[in-house]
Amino acid sequence: MRLSRFYHIQKTLLQYGLDELIPASWQPWYARAMRKSAFWLRNRYATEPVGKRLRLALQSLGPVWIKFGQMLSTRRDLLPPEIADELARLQDKVDPFPGDQAQQLIEQALELTDISELFSSFSVTPLASASIAQVHAAVLRQLDGNDADVVIKVIRPDIRKQILADLDLMDGLAAIAARYLPDGKRLRPREVVSEYRKTILDELDLQREAANAIQLRRNFAGSDSLYIPYVYSDFSRPNVMVMERIYGIPVSDIAALNAQHTDMELLAKRGVEVFFTQVFRDSFFHADMHPGNIFVSREHPDNPKYIGIDCGIVGTLNSEDKRYLAENFVAFFNRDYRKVAQLHLDSGWVPVDTNVEEFESAIRTVCEPIFQKPLAEISFGHVLLNLFSTARRFNMQVQPQLVLLQKTLLYVEGLGRQLYPQLDLWKTAKPFLESWVKQQVGLPALWRQVKDNAPFWAEKLPQMPTLLHRYLEQGPKQQAMMLQQLQLLQLQQHKANRQIIAAALAAGTLISGTIAFSIGPLWLAGALLGGAIFFGAKALLS
């Protein structure tokens, strides 16, 4: 099967003419000859741009490759803009698998004899179908006697086997590219595939998605900005998830939003606020916020609220990354490129031996022309993209969490400007970030850290006298042991020095004795050789 699948992939890539992506100078003569001899696999889309051909080829190869293309579209540090833009258009809507098969999978996962034991109704026709799972409407019977409208998400049958097989093929192709392409090491294809493997395998575990949704819902409990549907965790399994059904308006349906007189400016600004709140307040953000996963509540159009679904991919940042990232953003707002460069060094994102002046100059060269436009016309996401691309030239190792952040920010900004074209993301984000940075330094931050660590110190405080007494009691003993070890090391060092000197003298006298034996008096040669034996013995016995 693997061989036939490999042939099918090669056939598809050649029929879409994707061998053109490899420069002719990189292809040996025998590879070009083999390509020409495969006349039945000629390029059938020669008039189409290469980016479009790549998108169509990935779509024809199926869900695993579609999602791989979607992930690649976020790696603009590796791809030309025209190809990345085409890949960003990939949609993973695919034909559904039979509803009765989905029902069987649900019954098996929930250990039901019949689905009616738990659900008073179940729609065999799916509400939506994607590359990895599909969704069915149902009504859940509850212990209190009330029914609840829910949706059941179920993983496609045998999809894991197909995904693992295709991932193995991807890894094999990436290994070939890394080894034989001149630019293979810089592009790091095996690392890209490895990153993708983790992402897509995480999406196959619906219990992980359920946990992510529960966390996000808790983070935004009572919020006017974002609502996450309730997850019925008792009925969630690795391949099945039951959650509250929502009836919002798709965020991409601008006509429907306008028809109910939604406050589009407020909605766009709230999208920005939700993103930065997730990143900097919670360190836990929904990293797949494309329009298909975002809805708008039909209630209170004058005070609109987002509804987020599909929490399979989330990103996290540690406290250091958050602080450096926020300070980077603020420095960009203020065009302080020197600080941006220094922050990259301090954070460890670029090597410590990087020349700060050269790095600052490179950042200015890329970013200053952007700032010639009015702030409202500048893409925040693309500025971040240019920052990472420039840093790559200085051997910045791409951080997976920053790639997710970049992708999500591009989604959020594109969505916000679709809703409200006049959205000034800079103006919306800057006060939030400046306020957050101020909260992380100074006395308020110090006091907050003291409060956060208070339970730890309260637990350790009663032990302090015992620990202090033990230290004072054992301190002299440890110092004496350390002194003995130092003295032993000194003796060993002196012995080693004597051996080295004796060995050098033995070698020198041996060479001199050999020369004297051939050209000089025998008594001198004998004396020198005797000296060599003496020093050699001294070196061995010291």
Does the pLDDT of residue 35 top 60, yes or no? no
pLDDT, residue 240, reads 95
CA angle 111/308/315 to nearest 5° reads: 90
CA distance 389 to 363: 10
Listed in sequence order, the DSSP H helices in 62-158 are 63-72, 81-87, 99-109
Residue 288 annotated in active site: yes
Mode of pairing for the β-strands spanning 226-227 and 306-308: parallel
CA distance 388 to 386: 6
Cα separation, 360 vs 338, whole angstroms: 5
Per-residue pLDDT of 49-89, as tens digits, reads 777 888 888 877 777 778 777 767 766 656 677 777 777 77
pLDDT at 30 over 60: no
Q: Which of 77, 166, 288, 424 is catalytic?
A: 288
Mean pLDDT across the stretch 33-49?
Answer: 61
Phi then psi dihedrals of residue 397, to 5 deg: -80, 120
Spatial contact of 439 and 330, defined as CB atoms under 8 Å apart:
no
163 marked as part of a ligand binding site: no
The total of other beta-carbon atoms located within 10 Å of residue 301's CB is 20
Rounded average pLDDT over 170-199: 72
Given a cut of 90, whether residue 153 has pLDDT beyond it is: yes
Give strand pairing partners of 242: 152
Burial of residue 175 (CB within 10 Å: 0-12, 13-18, 19+) is middle
What is d(CA 419, CA 269) in angstroms, rounded to the nearest whole number?
10
Closest-CA residue to 297 (of 219, 209, 225, 199): 225
Kindly report the number of other CB atoms within 10 A of residue 425's CB atom.
24
pLDDT at 469 (0 to 100): 65
Q: Is 133 annotated as a binding residue?
A: yes
Q: Distance between the two ends of the chain, CA-based, in angstroms?
A: 69
- CA 205 vs. chain centroid, Å, equals 18
| Cα 416–chain centre separation | 23
In the predicted structure, residue 28 carries a pLDDT above the cut 60: no
pLDDT band at 371 (very low <50, low <70, confident <90, very high): low
Residue with tokens 């690795």: 238
pLDDT classification of 186: cutoffs 50, 70, 90: low
DSSP string, 224-242: SSEE---B-GGG-BTTEEE
Q: Is 221 assigned a ligand-binding role in the annotation? A: no
Q: State the DSSP H helix or E strand holding residue 122, giving kind and residue range, or none if neither.
A: strand 119-122
Most confident of 51-60, 92-101, 112-121, 287-296: 112-121
Residue 388 — very low, low, confident or very high, per pLDDT cuts 50/70/90?
low
- Look-up of token digits 């290994």: 175
| 153 annotated binding-site participant | yes
Give the pLDDT confidence score for residue 22 in this predicted structure: 60
Instruction: Report whether pLDDT(491) > 80.
Output: no
Task: Band the pLDDT of 347: cuts 50, 70, 90.
Answer: confident
450 is in an annotated binding site: no
Q: Is the pLDDT of residue 40 over 60?
A: no
Question: What integer is the mean pLDDT of 108-137?
Answer: 91
- Tokens representing residue 198 in the block: 């983790």
Residue 445: pLDDT band with limits 50, 70, 90: low
Residue 68 class from Cβ within 10 Å (0-12 exposed, 13-18 middle, 19+ buried)?
buried
- Report residue 138's pLDDT band, with 50, 70 and 90 as the boundaries: very high
Give the residue among 286, 293, 290 at the shortest CA–CA distance from 315. 286
pLDDT in tens, 227-261: 999 999 999 999 999 999 999 998 888 899 999 99
According to DSSP, the residues that pair with 128 across neighbouring strands are: 135
The per-residue pLDDT of the chain, averaged, comes to 77
In this structure, the chain runs to a length of: 542
Does residue 118 or residue 54 have the better pLDDT? 118
pLDDT, tens only, 279-314? 888 888 888 877 778 899 999 999 999 999 988 888
Angle at 26 between CA 23 and CA 28, to 5 degrees: 125
pLDDT band, very low/low/confident/very high, at 123 (cuts 50, 70, 90) = very high
- CA atoms of 336 and 367, how far apart (whole Å): 11
Identify the pLDDT of residue 372. 64
427 appears as a binding residue in the annotation = no
Q: Identify the residue with better confidence: 494 or 42.
A: 494
Average pLDDT on 375-395 reads 68
Whether the pLDDT of residue 523 is over 70: the answer is no
Q: Is 130 marked within a binding site?
A: yes
